[in-house]
């Protein structure tokens, strides 16, 4: 979406800002049209998961039909060379991505744990019926959560596109699967855990690529996912009682 606005000569910063807003609104639209009806019918939780996977495929196919499947150039973000730490070289873009991710995590932690709407989010997640009885508008809270999720996904998309300096409709598929593996490793429901899980997955992939070759890089995240589900289903920082689907 940011590429569309860049192509309309908006400039990178206005294009990114508009992309964050519109992707957040898209998250609300998805919740209202596809997921809220499922909640009203008290569908089983797996129905929502299947629905979101289906919507993801629909969006990818629509983008492919609209933009084409070929890779398109995207402006680089914060590319100022490399930083040397001994024998290790770190790209400035990687440092920028980490700092933005850390800042985003801090903001989300504050929203979830230190605000009234965050309290309502946690109450709705734990027991939606009880939250409704206490006067919490659960549908609004879920829509707000989808807005935050859309904005967060847009930030991730801009960072990934800016790092690789390309964009194409299906580029988020593998990144999404690895993000899920990182979230399970860190513990579903733990924002700091997800960040730490992402670091572990990323470092493990780099080690695997160095030792065994780049062909084995992508399988590392899924091996970690399987091992975590077998050995420690709640993840490193997850709380007991959280159901994974």
**How many angstroms separate the CA atoms of 17 and 182, rounded?**
27
- Which among 37-46, 144-153, 209-218 has the top mean pLDDT? 144-153
Average pLDDT of span 160-186:
86
Residues 31 and 124 in one domain: yes
User: Does the pLDDT at position 2 exceed 60?
Assistant: no
Q: The tokens of 28 are what?
A: 């609300």
Nearest alpha carbon to residue 70 among 2, 158, 156, 166:
166
At residue 167, the 3 state secondary structure works out as strand
Q: How confident is the model at residue 245 (pLDDT cuts 50, 70, 90)?
A: very low
**How many angstroms separate the CA atoms of 8 and 15, rounded?**
9
**Positive or negative torsion for Cα 155, 3, 179, 138:** positive
Residues 61 and 122 in one domain: yes
Would you state the pLDDT for residue 96? 87
More confident residue, 1 or 80: 80
How many domains is the chain built from? 2
More confident residue, 5 or 65: 65
Cα 234 to Cα 78, 204, 219, 239, 241: the distances in Å are 36, 20, 21, 6, 8
* Cα end-to-end distance, the chain, whole Å: 30
Would you state the pLDDT for residue 32? 94
- Alpha-carbon 231 to chain mean position: 24
Residues 143 and 223 in one domain: no
The string of pLDDT tens digits covering residues 88-128 is 677 888 888 889 989 998 999 999 999 999 999 999 988 88
Q: The tokens of 63 are what?
A: 């983008």
Residues 183 and 149 in one domain: no
Domain end (from 169, 199, 229): 169
Residues 136 and 236 in one domain: no
Would you state the pLDDT for residue 7? 53
Give 23's DSSP letter: H
Residues 135 and 26 in one domain: yes
Domain end (from 104, 136, 169): 169
**How many angstroms separate the CA atoms of 68 and 62, rounded?**
9
Residues 191 and 79 in one domain: no
Residues 96 and 130 in one domain: yes
Cβ neighbors of 70 (< 8 A, separation 6 or more) are 168
Residues 152 and 192 in one domain: no
**How many angstroms separate the CA atoms of 118 and 47, rounded?**
25
φ and ψ at 91, to 5 degrees?
-70, 140
Would you state the pLDDT for residue 171? 85
Instruction: Compute the chain's Rg from CA coordinates.
Output: 19
Residues 218 and 160 in one domain: no
**How many angstroms separate the CA atoms of 200 and 227, rounded?**
14
The string of pLDDT tens digits covering residues 8-25 is 566 777 888 888 999 999
Domain end (from 128, 150, 169): 169
Residues 12 and 117 in one domain: yes
Structural domain containing residue 22: 2-169
The string of pLDDT tens digits covering residues 24-83 is 999 999 999 999 999 888 888 789 889 998 998 898 898 888 888 888 888 877 777 777
Residues 127 and 210 in one domain: no
The string of pLDDT tens digits covering residues 226-238 is 998 898 888 888 7
């Amino acid at each position: 979406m940011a590429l569309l606005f860049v192509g309309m000569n908006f400039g990178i910063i206005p294009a990114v800002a508009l992309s964050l807003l519109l992707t957040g609104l898209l998250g609300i639209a998805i919740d209202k049209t596809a997921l809220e009806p499922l909640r009203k019918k008290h569908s089983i939780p797996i129905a929502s998961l299947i629905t979101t996977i289906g919507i993801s495929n629909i969006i990818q196919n629509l983008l492919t039909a609209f933009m084409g499947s070929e890779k398109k150039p995207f402006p680089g973000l914060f590319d100022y060379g490399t930083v040397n730490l001994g024998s290790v070289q770190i790209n400035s873009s990687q440092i920028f991505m980490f700092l933005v991710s850390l800042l985003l995590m801090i903001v989300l932690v504050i929203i979830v744990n230190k605000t009234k709407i965050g309290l309502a989010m946690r109450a709705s997640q734990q027991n939606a019926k009880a939250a409704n009885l206490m006067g919490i508008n659960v549908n609004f809270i879920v829509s707000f959560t989808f807005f935050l999720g859309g904005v967060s996904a847009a930030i991730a998309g801009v960072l990934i596109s800016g790092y690789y300096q390309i964009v194409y409709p299906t580029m988020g598929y593998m990144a999404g699967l690895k993000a899920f593996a990182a979230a399970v490793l860190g513990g579903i429901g733990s924002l700091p855990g997800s960040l730490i899980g992402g670091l572990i997955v990323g470092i493990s992939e780099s080690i695997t690529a160095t030792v065994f070759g780049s062909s084995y890089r992508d399988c590392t995240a899924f091996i970690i996912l399987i091992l975590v589900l077998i050995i420690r289903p709640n993840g490193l920082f997850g709380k007991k009682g959280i159901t994974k689907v």
